[in-house]
Amino acid sequence: MAEETYEVEKTHPAVGKKKKSGGFQSMGLNYPVLKGIIKKGYKVPTPIQRKCIPVILERRDLVAMARTGSGKTACFLIPMFEKLHTKSTKGARALILSPTRELALQTLKFTKELGKFTGLKIATILGGDSMEAQFAAIHESPDIVIATPGRFAHLCIEMELKLREIEYVVFDEADRLFEMGFGEQLHQILKRLPENRQTLLFSATLPKLLVDFTQAGLNDPTFIRLDVDTRLPDTLALGFAFCPSEAKIPALLYLLKNVVRPSDLTLVFVPTMHHVEYLQMVLNHAGIPCTYLYSNLDPTARKINAAKFQNRLVNVLITTDIAARGIDIPLLDYVINFNFPALAKLFVHRAGRVARAGRFGTAFSLISLEEMGYYVDFHLFLARPIHTIPVSGLPESLDKKKPVWDGYLGKVPLSTIEDEVSALNLWHNESIDLFNMIKVTKSAYKLYKKSCTAASHESVRRAKAINLESLGNHPCFSSSTTPTEENKNKMLLEIRSFRPPATVFEIGANSNSKKAVVMREKRNAHGRIISKHQITKEMAESDTLPIEELSDNEENATVIMPKYQTKKQGSGKDDEYFIPYAPKNYYMENELSLKNNFGKEVQSSILELEVDDDTDRRKKKAIMKWDRQKKKYVGEEEKCRKIKTESGAWIKSSYKTNRYERWKKNTQIDKRETNDDEGSGTENFRSVTNLTANRRNPRQKMKGVREGNVLEVRKKKGKRKERNPTGNREEKGVKRLQNSRRPMQMKRKFKR
């Protein structure tokens, strides 16, 4: 590493003299590439760049997990510039595939800025642009092609591109490429690429389809994932508020009005697209400016809404997990989980968008009763203890950088959100659209829950052990409460926890009635069992460890009394000499551990995001189903006609429209390329059949003959005339004369 730094300093002392050895100078990059990096303002590589760039420079295939905004674009652009180095006439040598038009244009802008001094030519092949202009761009022999899969696959089939010279392929946001249904196009493009190419995949998560693709399309790849990208930063404050499902919308309104400042950028995650539309209508009624995103939104509207949030025209964005992919918002302040995610990795993926680059941020979660199991799973994953807020409140924290409620679970007092509840009821009574959306969101959430992963049984058991009735009010919601309201909440808590000694059959009934007699018999039969259960429960609560320590170390087992024993017995754990069977961070290390086998590594990193639309959910389930008649699994039947390509793959017939042949005829591009001495460099990029088109059409060939060969052409034409001196027209004229003489001869014979 020191030798490489010395070479840079020796060759270009003005550049490498002032820089530290741990920067880009130590990577041994060429001067034009290094100059573009410094011009861009980069000094020290990010952690993902420090790990990925040396591996890519060794010409190895790579699968890298990097969240949005971690600097992954420079991870594949810098080695690409180093590999291509200078412009070539061979044709395109690098291919970058992006899932959306917006991301491709963003990559194009960054590529031009970073490769400003390399002189490499870039072409973009995007859906929605003119295909004729893209035909011309391919014939201009670009060095780098940035494309979307659908249009590039269409262009490959239309132009019959061979892609022989492609040596560097990048799948940017590869998880989104498969989630958006580009699997068929990617496989079609992959079949046209040479086998000795270098393939790179960058993704925020690893869906199952992407894992299958990496195992089929990559050659002995290297898997890179940083633990720091999977853990939560220290500057992130976590807030957990327990509330019923029907009180989540009023609680969200309270947070946006009283806790979040109007200038803070806030991202609200909801489960389905119907929740997005519903909350957007509610916030508009509340006078809170907001915008929204979901997967089935029109691309133009998606671009406009994302730009509104990024440019701070609105400060609240309502979105789903899939729709939030690829949106880089480096200065995000708040993330609010309207529903607690079913996977701990998904929580980290959501909350990791805030508190970047040393900034402080907050992730707030609204948790219902059915989501408590996921809440315990999350703490096991991060090896964090579960802390609850007592009724008396929290003491003042010594750490002034973070709020006192960081990491604590509290409840939302219903008296605090009474104003929001009444306003919400009024809006539903006035708006029929808002009222109808209640039923839609409930139905959508039921379908969403069916597709979610269930919490573990151990986490559900521990969640039940948390005494939710004794939870104190969360400080974010209790800041405006008065002593009168606190007394009111205590009285409501006592009423809620009141259990009458008599049952409904005994209250107000005669002692000799049939109902009272039945209840006395039941008490005599089961009273002893009930009392034993209560005694066992009280001893377990008094002798077991607190829930905070239980969730921190799973090994802290509790020994409950035997069935007929009356003495109290402790947990049997010696605080000084007890050796647990698993370390404290067992769950986290088990999730983040890297194996030697690539297949095991990617399998442990799979994160399937739930779709936000019921139509997409049905399509996901209908990928393969059992056919009783055919006795095998079959896919969804395609209604469109298909044709077979030269590689043996079946594609849509609409891809082959002969537009390229018509464009060549109109522009006479083959004549221009023939007159060019060097050629356009597309002989390796296009197919052989297109290059031999002039040989198959002799007339077109004669049109392109130079002036020195005109006499030869005339001689050939003259020889053809000698073979047939009369010609077709002369032969027809002779026949007419012969036919016209016959009646005259007959007249002469008649006169005689």
**134-138, 155-159, 496-500: range with lowest mean pLDDT:** 496-500
Angle at which helices 31-40 and 101-114 cross, to 10°: 110
Give the pLDDT confidence score for residue 390 in this predicted structure. 87
Q: How confident is the model at residue 72 (pLDDT cuts 50, 70, 90)?
A: confident
- Based on the number of CB atoms within 10 Å of its own CB, is 439 exposed (0-12), middle (13-18) or buried (19 or more)? exposed
Is residue 289's pLDDT more than 90? yes
Please give the Cα distance from 64 to 52 (Å, whole number).
8
Bridge-based pairing of strands 122-125 and 168-172 is unpaired
Give the pLDDT confidence score for residue 697 in this predicted structure. 47
| 504 closest CA partner among 483, 486, 521, 518 | 518
Q: What is the pLDDT of residues 102-134, one digit of tens each?
A: 889 889 999 999 998 988 999 999 988 888 999
Inter-residue long-range contacts of 5-8, CB under 8 Å, 24+ positions, other chains counted: 8/34
Give the pLDDT confidence score for residue 627 in this predicted structure. 72
Q: Residue range 75-81: average pLDDT?
A: 92
Which tokens sit at 320?
A: 């789903």
| 697 closest CA partner among 670, 720, 722 | 670
The mean pLDDT value of the chain amounts to 75
Q: What is the pLDDT of residues 154-210, one digit of tens each?
A: 898 888 888 888 999 999 888 777 767 777 788 888 888 898 899 998 887 666 666
Q: Which of 23-37, 628-642, 727-741 has the highest average model confidence (pLDDT)?
A: 23-37
Q: Which of 214-228, 589-603, 619-633 has the highest average model confidence (pLDDT)?
A: 214-228
Q: Residue range 424-440: average pLDDT?
A: 93
Rg (CA), the chain: 37
Higher per-residue confidence, 575 vs 546: 575
Q: How confident is the model at residue 739 (pLDDT cuts 50, 70, 90)?
A: low
**368-377, 387-396, 700-709: range with lowest mean pLDDT:** 700-709
DSSP run (H or E) holding 49: helix 47-57
232 close to 382: Cβ distance less than 8 angstroms: yes
Q: Residue range 348-352: average pLDDT?
A: 80
Please say whether the dihedral angle defined by the alpha carbons of residues 39, 42, 48 and 54, taken in this order, is positive or negative: positive
Please say whether the dihedral angle defined by the alpha carbons of residues 645, 646, 648 and 649, taken in this order, is positive or negative: negative
Is residue 332's pLDDT more than 50? yes
Q: Residue range 539-543: average pLDDT?
A: 60
Give the pLDDT confidence score for residue 541 in this predicted structure. 58
Higher per-residue confidence, 586 vs 579: 579
Q: How confident is the model at residue 564 (pLDDT cuts 50, 70, 90)?
A: very low
Is residue 721's pLDDT more than 70? no
Q: How confident is the model at residue 565 (pLDDT cuts 50, 70, 90)?
A: very low
Bridge-based pairing of strands 625-627 and 632-634 is antiparallel
Q: How confident is the model at residue 652 (pLDDT cuts 50, 70, 90)?
A: low
Give the pLDDT confidence score for residue 316 in this predicted structure. 93
Is residue 604's pLDDT more than 90? no
Please give the Cα distance from 129 to 191 (Å, whole number).
25
Measure the CA angle with vertex 124, ends 138 and 68; round to 5°: 150
Residues with Cβ within 8 Å of residue 529, at least 6 apart in sequence = none
Give the pLDDT confidence score for residue 76 in this predicted structure. 92
- The share of the chain scoring above pLDDT 90, in percent, equals 21
**3-7, 153-157, 311-315, 332-336: range with lowest mean pLDDT:** 3-7
Is residue 355's pLDDT more than 60? yes
Q: Residue range 49-75: average pLDDT?
A: 85
**223-232, 254-263, 357-366, 550-559: range with lowest mean pLDDT:** 550-559
Give the pLDDT confidence score for residue 298 in this predicted structure. 82
Q: Residue range 22-36: average pLDDT?
A: 85
Q: How confident is the model at residue 68 (pLDDT cuts 50, 70, 90)?
A: low
Please give the Cα distance from 213 to 175 (Å, whole number).
11
Q: How many residues does the chain have?
A: 752
CA distances from 164 to 44, 209, 485, 703 (A): 36, 27, 75, 31
- The single-letter DSSP state of residue 255 is I
Complete edge-to-edge strand list for the sheet that includes strand 316-319: 291-292, 316-319, 266-269, 334-337, 361-367, 236-242, 408-411, 387-388
Bridge-based pairing of strands 62-65 and 222-225 is parallel
Is residue 283's pLDDT more than 80? yes
Higher per-residue confidence, 606 vs 132: 132
Q: What is the pLDDT of residues 218-273, one digit of tens each?
A: 788 888 876 544 577 788 899 999 999 999 999 999 999 999 998 899 999 999 89
364 close to 370: Cβ distance less than 8 angstroms: no
Higher per-residue confidence, 70 vs 1: 70
Is residue 51's pLDDT more than 70? yes
Query: Which residue is listed with tokens 């949106």?
Result: 327
Is residue 393's pLDDT more than 60? yes
**523-532, 585-594, 692-701: range with lowest mean pLDDT:** 692-701
Give the pLDDT confidence score for residue 546 in this predicted structure. 45
Ramachandran angles phi, psi of 168, nearest 5°:
-145, 110
Q: How confident is the model at residue 558 (pLDDT cuts 50, 70, 90)?
A: very low
Give the pLDDT confidence score for residue 2 in this predicted structure. 38
Is residue 336's pLDDT more than 90? yes
Give the pLDDT confidence score for residue 144 in this predicted structure. 94
| 558 closest CA partner among 576, 545, 577 | 545
Give the pLDDT confidence score for residue 210 in this predicted structure. 65
**177-186, 338-347, 514-523: range with lowest mean pLDDT:** 177-186
DSSP alpha helices (H): ranges in 95-247?
Answer: 101-114, 131-139, 149-159, 174-179, 183-192, 208-217
Give the pLDDT confidence score for residue 647 in this predicted structure. 46
Please give the Cα distance from 671 to 665 (Å, whole number).
10
- The share of the chain scoring above pLDDT 70, in percent, equals 65
DSSP run (H or E) holding 347: helix 344-351
Q: How confident is the model at residue 452 (pLDDT cuts 50, 70, 90)?
A: confident
Is residue 719's pLDDT more than 50? no
Please give the Cα distance from 342 to 195 (Å, whole number).
40
Query: Which residue is listed with tokens 């009934």?
Result: 509
Please say whether the dihedral angle defined by the alpha carbons of residues 572, 578, 580 and 584, taken in this order, is positive or negative: positive
Please give the Cα distance from 233 to 486 (Å, whole number).
35
Higher per-residue confidence, 89 vs 117: 117
Give the pLDDT confidence score for residue 240 in this predicted structure. 94
